[in-house]
Amino acid sequence: MLHFPLWKKTLIWMICLAGLAFAMPNVFYTKVEQHNDALAALEQGEAETPDLVAARDGWPSFLPSDLVNLGLDLRGGAHVLVEVNVADVYLDRLDSMWPAVRDVLREEKDLVGTVRRQDTSEIELRVRIGNAEAMNEAVTAVHALTRPVVSLTGAGARDFEVVADGDEIVVTLSEAEKIATDDRTMQQSLEIVRRRVDEAGTREPTIQRQGADRILIQVPGIGSAEELLALIGRTAKLTFNEVVRQVANPDEAAGLGNVILPSVDEGEGYFVVKRSPVVGGDQLVDAQTDFDQNGNPAVSFRFNPTGARLFGAHTSSNVGQLFAIVLDDEVISAPRIQSAILGGSGIITGRFSIDESTQLAILLRAGALPAEIKVLERRTIGPELGADSIAAGKIAAVVAFAGVLVFMILSYGLFGVFANFALILNIVLLFALLSVIGATLTLPGIAGIVLTLGMAVDANVLIFERIREELRRAKGPARAIEIGYEKATSAIIDANVTTLIAATILFAMGSGPVRGFAVTLGLGIITSVFTAIWVTRLLVVTWLKLRKPKTIEV
C-alpha cells in the first residue's frame, strides 16, 4: 500500500493539474463568459466590432474555457412546463381523409348509393351510405385507402380503422397511428417553440421534450414567465376564410361545413365562415411589422406561390364579398374584397399596439403550433434573488470551508494539513468536472458542494482514526499507516457506494433543482474518494520517505 510506482504518481499529479486547469475559468467567470459569447457571435458571422474583439481577446483561447452553467435560480429567468394537447391533431387527420373517402365511394355510386358525411361529436369520421346492403363492399373500398403503419408494437397495423355501424361507415385513427401522430405533433411543437424563442433573441434557452406530451422551456434572463408565455402560449394558427354571413347570436345554426367565430372587435358580433380555409398560415413566407394608411400598427405578409395562386383565384371571383382573417379561432378583421389581389402579399389591420403587431409578426414567421398547449407549471426568478443566492451561497461555502479546515488541523495536526490539501483539491476537481460536462449549478447544487465539504473529510477521518488505532497496537509508523489505509478502504468504498446510490436515484427521479443537487453530490463523492485514497496517501507516503520519522502522532 505504501509503494507508488512512478506512472501512478505521475497520473495522480496529472489529474490534479488537469483539474486545476479546467476549474480555473470559473475564477474569471465574467471574462470567460464574454470571451465565449464573443467567439460564438463571431463564428455566426457577425461583423468584428472593437467590443467583440476585445471581449474575445480578454481570455487566451489556448486555455480551457468551459464554465459551470448557472441555473435559473442563480441567474434569474423563466421556467415553463407545458403540455401539448396532442389529440387536437386527430380531427385534422380525419378531416383530411374525407375527400378521399368521398371520391372512392362515389366511384361505386351504383352499388352504395348516396354518400353523405354525418356530423358527430366524437373523434371519428362518419359517412352514411344510401344502400346499407352494400356495406361490406363500401367498407372494403374505404379500407383500401388505409396505409400500414410502421411501429414497434403493432406489426401489421393500419393507420385508420374502418367499421360499419348500421348504414354508416365509421373511420377512426388506430392506436398505432395515434402514437405516430403524437410523436410528429411533439416534434413539430418543439421546433416551433424553439423558433419562436430564438426569434425573440434570448440567450441559451433550454427547450426539452419531457415525457410523452410535455415541453420544458427555460430561458435565462427573460423578465417573467408571462412574457415567455405570450410568445409560446399561442397557437398562432392563421387562416383566411370565406364569410358566409354576419350574425349577432353565437348560438345560431351555422349550417353544414360552416362555423361561427367571434370577432376580436366586440361591436361586430359573430361571423359565420366556411370551415375549410381558402389559404392557411402555412403558406406564408414572411411577415413583418408595418403600418396601414392611417399610420396604425399592422402586419404585412407575403404568400408563397401556391398561397398566392389560391388567394388570387379566390379574390378575383369574389369581389365585393367579405373574407375573414382568422387567428386562433377569432376573426381579427373581415375586410371587403375591393379587387383581385394577385401579387400574393397583403396586410392585416386590426386594433394592434406596436408590441402586439411585432409579436404577431414573430408568431406568423415562426409558424403555428400544430396543437394547443396548456401551461402546467411556471416559475420566474428575478435576477436580484439569483444574485442574493449566489452571494449567500458563496459566504456560506467560505465559512463552512474555513471551519472544516481549522477543525481538521486541530484534530489531526500535520495529517489534518494533508487532508485539507486533499479537500481543496477535491473542490477544484469538482468544479473542473462540472465545467467539462457542462453541468448546471443550482442553489441546491451549492448546498450539495457544501455538504460534500463536510462529508469529503470522512474518508480521511476513517483512515486517520484507523492509523491511530494501529499505532496504539504498538506498530511502527510505516506499518500503522499501511494497515490504516488497507483496513479503511472497504469501509470507505461501502459507505460511499451507498451514498452514490442515493445520489443516482435522485438524479434519475428528480427534476430541476433536485437534479442539480444530485449531480454535485454524486460527483463530490467520486472526487472525494479519489483525493482521500490517492492524493492524501501519496502525500503521506512522500512525507514518510523524506522524513523517516521514528514515531508519528496522528
Residues 354-413 that bind another protein (CB under 8 A): 374-382, 384-385, 387-389, 391-393, 395-397, 399-400, 403-404, 407-408, 410-413
Beta bridge partners of 148: 158
Q: Which of 64, 85, 499, 544 binds another protein (CB under 8 A)?
A: 499
- Closest to 187 in 3D by CA, of 212, 157, 204: 212
Beta bridge partners of 215: 82, 209
Does 262 interact with another protein (rule: CB under 8 A)?
no
- DSSP category for residue 322: B
How far is the C-alpha of 519 from the C-alpha of 291, rounded, in Å?
52
Residues 447-486: x where in contact with another protein by CB under 8 A, - otherwise, as a string: x--xx-xxx-xx--xx--x--xx--x----------x---
CB closer to another protein, 92 vs 553: 553
Minimum distance, C-beta of residue 158 to another protein, in the bound complex (Å): 33
CB closer to another protein, 53 vs 502: 502
3-class state of residue 443 by DSSP: helix
* C-alpha of 454 from chain center: 34
Q: How far is CA 122 from CA 94, 172, 173, in A?
A: 11, 9, 12
Does 427 interact with another protein (rule: CB under 8 A)?
no
Which residues, 208 to 237, sit near another protein by CB under 8 A? 224-226, 229, 233
Q: Which of 16, 25, 34, 73 binds another protein (CB under 8 A)?
A: 73
Which residues, 80 to 109, sit near another protein by CB under 8 A? 81, 83
Minimum distance, C-beta of residue 104 to another protein, in the bound complex (Å): 42
Minimum distance, C-beta of residue 499 to another protein, in the bound complex (Å): 4
Q: Which amino acid is at 94?
A: L
Q: Which of 53, 100, 342, 505 binds another protein (CB under 8 A)?
A: 505
CB closer to another protein, 196 vs 365: 196
CB closer to another protein, 331 vs 519: 519
- Closest to 384 in 3D by CA, of 73, 34, 39: 73
- DSSP category for residue 535: I
Minimum distance, C-beta of residue 424 to another protein, in the bound complex (Å): 14
Q: Which stretch binds another protein (CB under 8 A): 282-290, 340-348, 361-369, 497-505?
A: 497-505
Q: Which of 104, 491, 526, 544 binds another protein (CB under 8 A)?
A: 491
Cβ pair 489, 533 in contact under 8 A = yes
259 exposed, middle or buried (CB, 10 Å; 0-12, 13-18, 19+)?
middle
- DSSP category for residue 534: I
CB closer to another protein, 145 vs 478: 478
Which residues, 434 to 453, sit near another protein by CB under 8 A? 443-444, 446-447, 450-451, 453
How far is the C-alpha of 452 from the C-alpha of 524, rounded, in Å?
6
How far is the C-alpha of 173 from the C-alpha of 123, rounded, in Å?
8
Q: Which of 91, 135, 341, 514 binds another protein (CB under 8 A)?
A: 514
Give all strands of the β-sheet with 284-291 in edge-to-edge order.
284-291, 297-303, 345-348
Q: What is the 3-state secondary structure (H, E, C) of 30-90?
A: HHHHHHHHHHHHHHCCCCCCHHHHHHHHCCCCCCCCCCCEECHHHHCEEEEEEEECCCHHH
Size of interface with another protein, in residues (CB under 8 A): 80
* Other beta carbons less than 10 A from residue 99's beta carbon: 10
Minimum distance, C-beta of residue 190 to another protein, in the bound complex (Å): 19
Does 330 interact with another protein (rule: CB under 8 A)?
no
Minimum distance, C-beta of residue 187 to another protein, in the bound complex (Å): 23
Does 53 interact with another protein (rule: CB under 8 A)?
no
Rg over alpha carbons for the chain, rounded to the nearest Å, is: 34
Cβ pair 205, 232 in contact under 8 A = no
Does 305 interact with another protein (rule: CB under 8 A)?
no
Cβ pair 214, 374 in contact under 8 A = no
Q: Which of 216, 272, 521, 540 binds another protein (CB under 8 A)?
A: 521
Q: Which of 174, 218, 496, 528 binds another protein (CB under 8 A)?
A: 496
Q: Which stretch binds another protein (CB under 8 A): 22-30, 254-262, 263-271, 515-523?
A: 515-523
CB closer to another protein, 370 vs 386: 386
